[in-house]
Amino acid sequence: MFKKEEIKIDGKLNEKDVGYLSDAFFSLCQSCGYESHVFDDFRSNPTKENLEKYNKARKRRTILMENILEHSGVNLINEQWCQVKHLSTLAMGIQELIARDSMLGNLKEASELANIHKELYMEFLIIMGVNENNIISPTSA
């Protein structure tokens, strides 16, 4: 999907390692999805144990985000931290809806949702500082 040339900048093949950011985005999506599920557990059964599971899920997601930002050399400003979190959560929800539509054979609906998911991913890349000047192949994302 991404053309990588043998140009190394700070140990990466290009200034913005889009392959890493793709993995990071989907890891965040899964982390946010898990966080939503344990929240549902707490909402339906508000026990101390379920609240602790929810807090652990949030803490793991925070550590994951911090790790991704450190690895990417990104310094988020203003509301960008929350934007990344909410983009990831929304993208995970859309993946779930696409899975349901695919099981029902709803190609049109699944395709429309896939386009929204792509828009969210592109917004994530922009927040993470990816632009046409710092990736090898600007059309690959």
Query: What does the block give as tokens for 27?
Result: 């890891």
pLDDT at 19: 81
pLDDT at 129: 87
pLDDT at 10: 53
* CA pair distance 42, 16, nearest whole angstrom: 38
pLDDT at 118: 95
Buried b (16+ CB within 10 A) or exposed e, 71-105: ebebeeeeeeeeebbebbbbbbbbbeebeebeeee
pLDDT at 135: 64
pLDDT by residue (tens digit) across 3-61?
444 445 454 444 567 888 899 999 999 999 999 999 999 999 999 999 999 999 999 99
Identify the sign of the CA torsion 67, 95, 82, 34: negative
pLDDT at 7: 47
pLDDT by residue (tens digit) across 45-102?
999 999 999 999 999 999 999 999 988 888 888 899 999 999 999 999 999 999 999 9
Q: Domain extents for the chain?
A: 18-127
- Contacts of residue 95, defined as CB under 8 A and 6 or more positions apart, other chains included, come to 29, 33, 117
Residue pair 2/18 in contact (Cβ under 8 Å)? The answer is yes
Q: What is the dihedral of CA 66, 71, 74, 77, to 10 degrees?
A: 0
Tell me, yes or no, if the pTM score tops 0.85.
no
Give the distance between the most distant pair of CA atoms in the chain.
53
pLDDT at 84: 95
